Amino acid sequence: MKRRDLLKAAVTLPLLPLLMRGGTALARGAGTLATTLRSRVRPGQPGWPTAAEWEQLKRQVGGRLLKLESPFAPCGAAPSDSACAQVLKQLDNPFAVGDNPALTQTSGWANAWASQPSAWAVAAESAADVAAAVNFARQHHLRLVVKGGGHSYQGTSDAPDSLLVWTRHMNQVDLHDAFVPQGCAGHVAPQTAASVQAGAMWIDAYNAVTTRGGRYVQGGGCTTVGVAGLVQSGGFGSFSKRWGTAASNLLEAEVVTADGQVRIANARTNPELFWGLKGGGGGSLGVVTRLTLRTFELPGFFGAVNLTIKADSAAAYRALIAEAMGFYQRALFNPHWGEQMRFHGGDTFEISMVFQGLTRQQAEQTWAPFLDWVRARKDCRVTQPFQALAAPARHFWDAEFLRKYLPSAIVPDDRPGAPSDHFVWAGDREQACWFIQGYQSAWLPAALLQPGRQARLVDALCEAARHQGVSLHFNKGLAGAPADAIARARDTATHPQVLDAFALAISASGDDPAFPGMPGAKPDLAMARRMAAAVDKTMDALRAVAPDAGSYVSESDYFLRDWQQGFWGSNYPRLAAAKRQYDPDGLFFVHHGVGSEDWNADGFTRLRT
């Protein structure tokens, strides 16, 4: 959506009918919840909990109730204060940011939202702690927020005047040799799996499952992303082209629903809740406290290739893009390859891709025809030479191995006493606390790779590269994946377009951190508007060849107008039914989450019942 349409859209946003399944708005066995709440309360308003009531909640959760304030408060009186200097130093360390309940991994979005801490936080260590927080919020009509990894671009990981359920300390990972979901004995064969608590990051899961356990679990590419949030949003990782989405590999979840009950959700127990958790968006249906995911046999190797090329003319650039897309269709459109090609600057083509199940030599042989084509051109210059690297798959997230053999690829958590196995990929470090100027995504159908349609795709990519530029994330479209991975993904709430997409196109722009109260943080909003307009033009070029393209809920435009259709397509009515079944009073609210059309923009005032 164009920014100039935002105010008009806020008034005229069409409300998609919330179709019901089964003729009831209440869950069978989910308890009876009133649907009369008209507004939530803020500090200082009548009905805000008293000090005695907060103290009672604190006792219920074993003292783990925190009064939050901005971590930049010490900077106001004394910007040179050591406490101020320490928090500023930690802003480029996503582990430190995640360990602070008053911070988020994104500092804000121009003209959209700014990261502000909740009023109070329950530092949950168990499902019982979560249930206590949920019951307290429901009984006192509070705005409730859930944060694990805190990576939400949409600002759903915090909200001022709210009660935060902070799951960071729930990070245990357990492996199973023969897991059967509860109530599924005799219906589901035992299988290898990993149970992961909601506050774990993907580096925690990979350390337990791959480095130590010698298995693979499909998760996110960024190591500091929270497991629970990624699964609920669909969940793509570098190797999704082989093993599908994280959501499609969910076997069972433990979740606290709006009535405060701790429920098990799987294919036979609370099946609609289970389906909704598989890609229906984080924080809309309940608070997930544990997930059990299937695991897979590791391939021999994981690896990566990198290359940058510049073209000397517009004609040469178009020829380069045409060859790249033809080569992708011929040689890379298969389960071995994932991650990105990027087109930007009107002349630059970058490759940053990963592979699985191939040796380094096999990867080099795969790319040889493309490199021969480039060398034969006099009008294309290699500015970063082709490089292929591979390692035994078990060591792909092994910090000790990487420090020894590829130290430049990782950035460890450098705080004293930090776990030695915690690191972020060097390429992800720049996103720590970034301030978003513009961000959009669109799934591109595999039909665009057909010979008769490639020319239009190439023209669109050439036009996109003239503006902000675009990255094609091949692992975030499942066309070309194995049939079993596609079948599992079909049984999730994720937009059905992902099944037929060869890539997710992303165009984005960001700036340095800009938290409210942070010394020196003055976002250049005029620049942000220009960059957002460039993102608009980039994506307009691609939507000309994919006019009905949906968006990935976790990586999308904050201002998207028809978000129900854009995020979930034909799955939205079923999701809306699950929302009314398990949360009829709308306790769980996130921006552009299921059921959020019933509330105003900040989630404090109900617009309709």
The full 3-state SS of 48-101, as one line of letters, equals CCCHHHHHHHHHHCCCCEEECCCCCHHHHHCCCCHHHHHHHHHHHCHHHHHCCC
pLDDT confidence of residue 79: 64
Which stretches of the chain score pLDDT less than 70?
Answer: 1-36, 77-80
Element (H, E) at 385: strand 380-392
pLDDT confidence of residue 193: 98
**Spatial CA neighbour of 240 closest among 337, 342, 306, 352:** 337
pLDDT confidence of residue 93: 95
pTM of the model: 0.92
Alpha-carbon span 165 to 148, nearest angstrom: 9
The per-residue pLDDT for range 158-196, each reduced to its tens digit, is 999 999 999 999 999 999 999 999 999 999 999 999 999
**401, two tokens:** 């191995």
> What is the sign, positive or negative, of the torsion defined by CA atoms of 30, 32, 35, 39?
negative
pLDDT confidence of residue 36: 59
Torsion of CA 428, 431, 437, 439, to 10 degrees: 40
Element (H, E) at 304: strand 301-311
pLDDT confidence of residue 22: 34
Pairing outcome for strands 262-265 and 173-179: unpaired
pLDDT confidence of residue 15: 34
The per-residue pLDDT for range 265-306, each reduced to its tens digit, is 999 999 999 999 999 999 999 999 999 999 999 999 999 999
